[in-house]
Amino acid sequence: MIIVDDHDDRVQYSEGWFTSGSYPEYLNTTHAAIGVGQTATLSFTGVSISVYGTLSGFGLGGIPTSQYVVDGAEPVSFTAPNISGASYHYQYFSSDLLEDGTHSLVVTNTNDGTFWLDFFEYLPSPSTF
């Protein structure tokens, strides 16, 4: 598996994201979206991808929701569980097995709750082993 931190230059963010982070988040960093429609896009070469973030107690804006689109396919939605504390390295999304090749993943914040993005993890093409 290959981990791509939220601060990696390969991750392209729309306007409005801000940075934060602390231990135990991956490399002590996160990106956060508060506005509906903010996106993060990652291109990768591999056969699967997962997205992880931080969940925390929810205040204004409610429980975070997000969508995940690989290569323009149908969006997969995620609604965070309602928790009172913090949960780190929480898996928001995991793709099905993809055809070996280069893919694009678009992550979209779909409500006004704070959405914390920590890192991506993908399985590279078998030919790279």
| Domain residue extents for the chain | 2-128
What is d(CA 115, CA 117) in angstroms, rounded to the nearest whole number? 7
Residue 123: pLDDT band (50, 70, 90) is: very high
CATH entry 3.10.180.10 includes domain 2-128:
no
Q: What does the block give as tokens for 44?
A: 């990768």
Q: CA neighbours within 13 Å on the CB side: how many for 107?
A: 31
Residues 22-40: tens digit of each pLDDT = 899 999 999 999 889 999 9
What is d(CA 73, CA 105) in angstroms, rounded to the nearest whole number? 10
Q: What does the block give as tokens for 14?
A: 């729309």
Please, what is the end-to-end C-alpha distance for the chain in angstroms?
11
H or E stretch at 72: none
